Every structure is written in structure tokens, then in C-alpha cells.
Amino acid sequence: MPELLQIQNIRKTFPGVVALDDVSFTVAPGEIHTLLGENGAGKSTLMNVLTGLYHPDSGHMQLAGEPVHFTSPRDSLSRGIGMVHQHFMLVPAHSVFENILLALERVPQFYNRKHYQQKMQKLIDTFELDLDLDADVWKLSIGAQQWIELIKLLLRDCRLLILDEPTAVLTPQETDRLFKVLRLLQQQGKSIIFISHKMREVMEISDRVTILKKGSSIATLKRAEFNADILARLMIGQDRIPEWQKNLQMSEKVVLDIRNLSVRNDRGLADLDDFSLQLKEGEILGIAGVAGNGQKALAEALTGLKEINKGKIFAGDMDMTHSTARASYISGIAHIPEDRKSIGIAPDLDVADNLIMKSFKNTLFRRGVFQNRRAIRRNAEEKVSRFAIKAGPEGSPVRYLSGGNIQKVIIARELSEQPRVLVALYPTRGLDIGSAEYIHKVIVDGAGRGMSTILIAEDLDELLKLSDRIAVMFRGRLIGYADPRQTSREEIGLMMSGEQREQP
């Protein structure tokens, strides 16, 4: 049987950067083919070529044996290639039905609503999805919104589906359901390109894996030819994965005491509702929960970025409930934000200036009213070396760095203040193995020095590996605590879906 997709010797460059260099791989009909690679390896660029957003400088693509050259995403979609992006393309104020209808072509001005509803409902029933066509999208969970994106592509009869980090915001139970759906699609002859950093999932779902490194495809392996160690070695190459040892000693001293906290969003709805939590000195406290259940509001309340409507936050004996981000204690809380590019950095400034954004008034970096550029450069050189930042040419904007290196810049800046507390919101989201392990080492080493960390993450394996305790959030409330040494992923997954648990 001929391959459904053939990509041969694709090359794509941008000014001063070779993003793809001689990339080749194939996808067979009815195959789940995983793309694996570090940040900056070229996965996103390759998918943008495949979906018609970018035009390759050289190379060839064939679809079902026919040469293709896509001029736009619409062109690619018309040939049966559809992609579920990490950031969904939905209209929150519209219903599920309306969002799906918007994605269809040649819908007449006066259409038969019942006809289209029946087509959509048939797909929902076939895959046993819990989805109400009349529900408003903004009221749905992230997992349910992902089903909408998938149904949009299936109704257009896409034969090749690309899923970019599809489990990043799902509970273990939702991930199992997704994998069940993918296998059903596979049985129907659909082909799937699966992009993930989670090795457990890659091992479970993949028929073949292609590894990208520095813009080149270096290997394609069949299921019998790979395991997690082989894939990790191919991804990392000669780069060393940082090693760390968790300190099992933890103080009983409480450094943050959150009591009955309530925080409302712009729509007047509760992001946090009667939420209580205690953080101990030197503790890594993991926060588990599906994205959108109040984690971001918790981080912003602790760092003075969100107004608190009710409740108290104590740092030791100090009431810091209504302190702003400039207050002495809060300014000493290190914060790794969810969106590193739009909140964590000043994208058009260089690495050196980004590294002093919290300390630019420090006399160390000033000569009277002027900046001490020599001291700022020395600080950057020291931090770049200590935190292993690949900073690129001196003076170039920080936005040109890979996601992992941008995250290292943020961490270097925040931890240089010697904080007592680190609030880390999805610190390894979208990062490769090496970058993620580096961040794990920073957090664990900080705990050894007495720094306390609130680690908000979506990967349960990460939380189980790092956390001393795990607190589970659901709809702005604390569902309960879990001991990572005695609680399974499945039990935590049930708590993430709202099942109450006795608190210790």
C-alpha cells in the first residue's frame, strides 16, 4: 500500500536561521506517527509547511502518490489535512453547534439546522463523546473544547489529522478517552501525526516515531525498535541531562497561609472560591488540576497581580492580602508566569536587560541616573554561564530565543533575588526533556536551600516526581491533598474531575 504522505528533503530558512534542513519522513494510511524533538528542532515549522502556512525553499511533498504544493491553510485543508492546534480556534460566546458550523464549507445561507445537527450528533455518538451541541463554548472544559476541534476536521472528512500536544490540558481519564478515539479513527483508515513531549504517551500510542534535531530528521523507528531511553538519547544527542537528588527533609514551619480566598474574574464569576492552602518551608507543593480551574488566579493573587475579594493571605505573621506587586514581600516572591513570551519577558529587549528587570534600580547597575552597562553585561555573562542559557548574538532581542532558553532567562532573573517562595505556573509546558529536567533541578536545589515552591503543572508524572504534597483544584476550590508516594495517577485524575477526598 502506498504511503499517504511523503515529505522529501524539505528545507526552510528564515533570515539568519535554518529552521528545516533536509527533513524527510512518511506517514502510512491508518498510522499514528509521532514527531519528537527538542524545542527549536523544527516541529512547528514542519507542521506549518505541511498545513500551507509556510512555503518550503526546496524539497517535495506527495499526498496519496500525487505531488502537492500548498499555497495556504485552506488549500491544505481542502486536500484532507487538518490540524488541532494547542490554542483552539473557537468563538467562546457561540454554541458548540455554531462553532462547528462555522468550520464547514458551502453551508447555504438558509440551511437545514436539523440536518447539520444530525450529522454532528452522529459523530458525537460514534465516539461516545460527552458534548452538548447547544452548550456555550465558554462554559465547557478544555477537554470538551478539544473534541469540538476534532469534530470540525472529521466533518470535513480529513484523512490526515495533526494533533499538537493534545494531552497538555487533559486529565489522565480524558487522555485515555482521546487515545481510544484516535485508535477508532485509525481503524477507519485515518492517519494521525501526533506531537508530544510526554514519553509515556509516545510509547503508548505510536506506531512509528520520527526524531527531529536541529532542523533535521535523524531517525524514524518502528514500535519494536524503540523504548523511552532510546528516544531520549536520540533527542538529546551529546547534551547532558541535568541530574538532581530530591531532599526528603521538610520543615513544618508555614511560610504561606491562604485562608478562605475568593477571587472573581472580569465576568464576575469566581476563579477562586473559599480556597485555603498552607505552604511549608522548603516544600515543593504541587497543584494539580485541569487548566482553567483557578490555578492562574491563585498565582496572580499570590504575586499581587489579582485583586482579592475575600479571605486572607499570611506570610508568616504578615498580612499580605491586599499588597500590590511592588510591596516588599510580594516583590520577593519569584514568579514564573504561564505565558513566558507575553508576560515573562520584554521581547524586544536583549537578554542582559531582561535579566535586570526586577533589579534595574539597584545601585550595582547604576551610575547616578545612568545605567552601568558594564555591570549589566557582567551580570548577563555570569547568569548565561550559570543557567546554561544559549543567548545568541549579544544585543539581539530575547524573543528570538527558543522557549527553553526564554524560560531559563526568566528563572535566572527571578532566582537571582534569593526568594523565599517560588510560584511556578506550568514552568515546563512545551519544553523538551533537557530543558524540563534543568528546571526540575533548579526547583529541587532551591528546596534544599529552604526555598518553598508552589508548582502548578499539567503533567501528573512531573508532579508525582517533584512534589512533597499535591493539592488538587477543581472549579476554584481545593478538592483535597494527595501523597505522591501513595496515590496513583488515576486517583489524582478522579480528584481533578471533582471527586472529593478527605484532607489530612
Number of structural domains (the chain) is 3
Say whether both 301 and 374 belong to one domain: no
In-domain check, residue 247: no
Position 264 scores a pLDDT of 85
Say whether both 278 and 221 belong to one domain: no
Report whether 152 contacts 159 (CB < 8 A): no
Position 97 scores a pLDDT of 93
In-domain check, residue 395: yes
Domain range enclosing 200: 5-236
- pLDDT exceeds cutoff 90 at 161: yes
Torsion sign across C-alpha atoms 71, 72, 75, 76:
positive
Where does a domain end: 206, 236, 266? 236
Report whether 127 contacts 148 (CB < 8 A): no
In-domain check, residue 242: no
Mean model confidence pLDDT for the chain: 85
- pLDDT exceeds cutoff 60 at 375: yes
Where does a domain end: 236, 261, 284? 236
Q: Each residue of 125-154: pLDDT tens digit?
A: 888 888 899 999 888 877 788 889 889 988
Spatial separation of the C-alpha atoms in residues 155 and 48, rounded to whole Å: 22
Position 326 scores a pLDDT of 59
Position 241 scores a pLDDT of 64
Where does a domain end: 357, 389, 417? 417
Say whether both 93 and 230 belong to one domain: yes
Q: Buried b vs exposed e over 224-233: b needs ≥16 C-beta within 10 Å?
A: eebeeeebee
Higher-scoring residue by pLDDT: 82, 292: 82
First to last CA, the chain: 58
Q: At what angle do helices 142-155 and 172-187 cross, to 10 degrees?
A: 10
- Which cell numbers in the block locate residue 47? 507542521
Say whether both 223 and 324 belong to one domain: no
Say whether both 215 and 156 belong to one domain: yes
- pLDDT exceeds cutoff 60 at 1: no
Position 8 scores a pLDDT of 94
Q: At what angle do helices 228-236 and 433-448 cross, to 10 degrees?
A: 90
Q: Each residue of 221-275: pLDDT tens digit?
A: 998 888 888 887 887 766 666 666 677 667 888 989 999 999 887 666 778 989 9
Comparing 98-112, 241-255, 294-308, 439-453, the range with the smallest average pLDDT is 241-255
In-domain check, residue 338: no
Distances (CA, A) of 199 to 203, 219, 399, 432, 443: 6, 17, 28, 11, 21
Say whether both 195 and 122 belong to one domain: yes
Position 486 scores a pLDDT of 87
Q: Each residue of 76-99: pLDDT tens digit?
A: 999 999 998 876 788 888 999 999
Say whether both 77 and 186 belong to one domain: yes
DSSP 342: I
Position 287 scores a pLDDT of 93
| Cell 496515590 belongs to residue | 487
The CATH number linked to 431 is 3.40.50.300
Higher-scoring residue by pLDDT: 421, 174: 421
Say whether both 111 and 211 belong to one domain: yes
- pLDDT exceeds cutoff 80 at 479: yes
Residue 286 three-state SS: strand
Say whether both 207 and 269 belong to one domain: no
Say whether both 371 and 432 belong to one domain: no
Query: How many degrees, rounded to 5, is the angle at CA 431 between CA 498 and CA 407?
Result: 100
In-domain check, residue 103: yes
- Length of the chain equals 504
pLDDT-derived band at 49, boundaries 50, 70, 90: very high
Nearest C-alpha neighbor of 105 from the set 85, 83, 78: 78
Q: Buried b vs exposed e over 11-23: b needs ≥16 C-beta within 10 Å?
A: bbeeeeeebbeeb
Reported as type and span, the H/E element at residue 33 is strand 32-37
* Strands 5-14 and 17-27, bridge-based pairing: antiparallel
User: Across residues 327-353, what is the average pLDDT?
Assistant: 78
- Which cell numbers in the block locate residue 25? 519522513
Position 109 scores a pLDDT of 82
In-domain check, residue 243: no
Say whether both 410 and 425 belong to one domain: no
- Which cell numbers in the block locate residue 421? 517562595
In-domain check, residue 498: yes
In-domain check, residue 337: no
Say whether both 99 and 140 belong to one domain: yes
Q: Is the pTM of this model over 0.85?
A: no
